[in-house]
Amino acid sequence: MIADPVRGAALRLAVVSHLLAISSVLRLSAAPASGSSAKKPNILFAFADDWGRHAGVYAAMDGAGGVNEAVRTPHFDGLAREGVVFRHAFVSSPSCTPCRSALISGQHFWRTGRGAILRGAVWDGSNPSDALLLREAGYHIGETYKVWGPGRPVDAPFDAPRHSYEKAGGRFNTFSQNVTAMVAPGRPLQAAKDEIYAEVRANFDAFLADRKPDQPFCYWFGPTNVHRKWMRGSGKALWQIDPDQLKGKMPPFLPDVPEVREDLADYFGEVQAFDEALGLLLARLAEIGELETTLVVVSGDHGAPGFPQGKCNLQDFGSGVSLAIRGPGVTAGRIVGDPYRLDSATPPTVEELTEDTRVKLEQRLLGEMKRTGDPRWVDAGRFFETPPMAGPTDDTDATRKRKAGL
């Protein structure tokens, strides 16, 4: 608990600023200004372990011949069409605990003390937690599976296990192993998958059942199935991802040989399982009439594990992640080409705690997203070279030259 009220207020506003920034277009505040009657949005945060920038929606952006052509993620792709998708989202650190410490506290990982390391990490309460601040603001909060770790206490930024919803089961975290074991004796594949999906639904239902009437909620879904290890050959056996379709499409730093293609296909299978679980959560929100009042943020903590330039490497393959946001106030069909830090935040100083400054901070964080007049850019003063992509949102030569001041 933060004893110093001034420092506590500063940290509180820092995390509110973090939520404002990550929504990119939504005026979201854990503590609305006095007299505000605006309904607080619900928040669904789906965050996959070890999921890099791999989704079907990115295949068209990458151009023909890339590995993302092998991935099928219809639910993430739907969010991207109905909201905003980021082409160049990066984590503060391509490692589990430091990335999550940065994301949860809204600051670079190296500012988070012992939260900045992997082995031996400690969450000691000195860093703000957006979830706990939302709880203070009246939100019903809950999490399923991994929020923060390795470290101790486990999932401390969500005050676990107090707000954990996992009693229905956690077999989804080892999806390919469990499904493979169930189909081995002859059980139908879809029936085996459905048994595990039922646990995902039941955990979410238990969370929703604990909510008070009309209470806004923040739910974190953090499965670890995309993390190694997975069953060899499961990409093809469970998801019909043929490793041979990756031949000739592998990035230059990965050997284009059968063993590596199969491994990548198996990894993509776990990504597709995560996407199916995401679809279950979205469907449940639609069933209860809450989808349109829920801010949905979907991403991962870093790139693919166990591959050259992947997890724990400061390369695009290791630090780049998928990111899509959908919800109230979010402009549909927007594609942001600027580089974007997943934990983007601008913590204010103590001297900035006036109401006037709070409003100005919100305007600065969100206004720059709008005043460019071009949905591809976050900041008109920043130029980032990207390859052309098909469609009406092309980063054309003329646009690139204009942004570069040429």
Q: Residue 234 and residue 207: Cα distance in Å, rounded? A: 31
pLDDT of residue 371: 43
Q: Which of 17-26, 138-147, 195-204 has the lowest mean pLDDT?
A: 17-26
Q: Is the pLDDT of residue 17 over 60?
A: no
Whether 402 is in a domain gets the answer no
Query: What's the pTM?
Result: 0.81
pLDDT higher than 70, residue 22: no
Three-class DSSP category at 140:
strand
- Checking if the pLDDT of 405 tops 60, the result is no
299 closest CA partner among 81, 89, 30, 67: 89
What Å distances lie between residue 74 and 66, 153, 162, CA to CA? 18, 35, 33
Asked whether residue 137 is assigned to any structural domain, the reply reads: yes
Query: Considering just the CA atoms, what is the radius of gyration of the chain in Å?
Result: 21
User: Residue 194: inside a domain, yes or no?
Assistant: yes
First to last CA, the chain: 52
Q: Is residue 387 part of a domain?
A: no
Integer Cα distance of 146 and 119 in angstroms: 16
Q: Which residues contact 393 (CB under 8 A, 6 or more apart)?
A: 335, 375, 376
| Number of domains the chain is built from | 1
Please give the mean pLDDT across all residues of the chain: 81
pLDDT tens by residue, 307-359 = 999 999 999 999 999 999 999 888 899 998 888 888 763 333 223 333 443 34
> Which one, of 43, 41, 134, lies nearest residue 328 by Cα?
41
Label residue 149 left, alpha or beta by phi (over 0 means left) and psi (-120 to 50 means alpha).
Answer: left
DSSP-assigned letter for residue 248: T
Which residues are paired to 349 by β-bridges? none
Residue 377 banded pLDDT, cuts 50, 70, 90: low
**Distance (Å, whole) CA 379 – CA 226:** 33
What would the pLDDT profile of 200-254 be if each residue is shown by its tens digit?
999 999 999 999 999 999 999 999 999 999 999 999 999 999 999 999 999 999 9
Please report whether residue 232 resides in a domain. Answer: yes
- Summarize pLDDT for 251-269 with one digit per residue, the tens: 999 999 999 999 999 999 9
With cut-offs at 50, 70 and 90, classify the pLDDT of residue 137: confident
Asked if residues 72 and 274 have their Cβ atoms less than 8 Å apart, the reply is: no
Residue 382 belongs to some domain of the structure: no
| Confidence tier at 297 by pLDDT (50, 70, 90) | very high
pLDDT grade for 106, boundaries at 50, 70 and 90: confident
pLDDT of 38 reads 64
- Dihedral angle of Cα 95, 97, 100, 104, to the nearest 10 degrees: -150
pLDDT at 394 > cutoff 60: no
Query: What is the reported pLDDT for 370?
Result: 43
* CATH code of 58's domain: 3.40.720.10
**Is residue 406 domain-resident?**
no
Question: Are the CB atoms for 16 and 360 separated by under 8 Å?
Answer: no
274 assigned to some structural domain? yes
pLDDT at site 30: 35
* CA neighbor of 343 nearest in space, from 50, 69, 21, 58: 21
- Assigned token pair, 370: 């709008």
User: Is residue 403 within 8 Å of 379, Cβ to Cβ?
Assistant: no
- Among the residue ranges 12-16, 43-47, 309-313, the one predicted with the least confidence is 12-16
Structural domain that includes position 159: 5-30+41-371
pLDDT higher for 182 or 363?
A: 182
